[in-house]
Amino acid sequence: MKNLKPLLAVPLFCIAPMLAAAGEPAAEDFVSRRSEFVTLVPGKTVELPALRGDDRSASRLAAMTTQIYHFGNWTGVPTYSIGAISGSTVYHPLPNPLNFSEPDVFWGSAQAFVDVPALTPWTQVFAYTTNPSDPYGQAKTCSWQVDVSVVNGACTANVTTSAYGQQGATCLIGDGAWVDPASCKLYVAVSIE
């Protein structure tokens, strides 16, 4: 029995990182149900909810934190990036072009991961259009601005969208978006339709 306890402890240490990663939003969850997305009113700022409880980051001392973005294209045609995502490290840049999919199918959706300094104000602006040569004319174009602020040692985040083009773009955000007030870690899912 004495030798059995150390043998059981080793597998538990191996499983711990997998359990921690399980709290991350899975790409497949991004477009699993369209009802989880809400239309953003162009020009109106929406505050992201704060991550709460056991899901919050364990440490405020991390030098870097991750911004996670998921993108969906429900226009019926490929869309093209006309914005940028920046950070100290951009693990997965914006997909370009972003293929289209049906709203309840993952194909055509993509993700980007960005490391930025923890507890630091940060702004990301990115956009997708169906016509990069005329994004304000014969196109559907959505741009999103994500602003992270630090007030009294706590992080908040807002998203503001703009819709352009003469083909009636609808810009959406997933209602599972959040910001961690302890580290400024961020998760946002957006889509153009």
Tens of pLDDT, residue by residue over 80-97, are 999 888 888 888 888 889
- CA 63, chain centre distance (Å): 20
Backbone angles phi, psi at 36, to 5 degrees: -85, 5
> What are the DSSP calls for 126-147, one per residue?
EEEES-TTSTTSSS-EEEEEEE
What's the pLDDT tens digit per position in 150-172?
999 899 999 999 999 999 999 99
Say which residue, 104 or 153, is predicted with more confidence.
Answer: 153
Q: What is the mean pLDDT of residues 56-68?
A: 72
CB 142 within 8 A of CB 173: no
Give the domain ranges of the chain.
Answer: 79-86+104-192
Instruction: Give percent above pLDDT 70 in the chain.
Output: 73
Q: In whole angstroms, what is the distance from residue 23 CA to residue 28 CA? A: 14
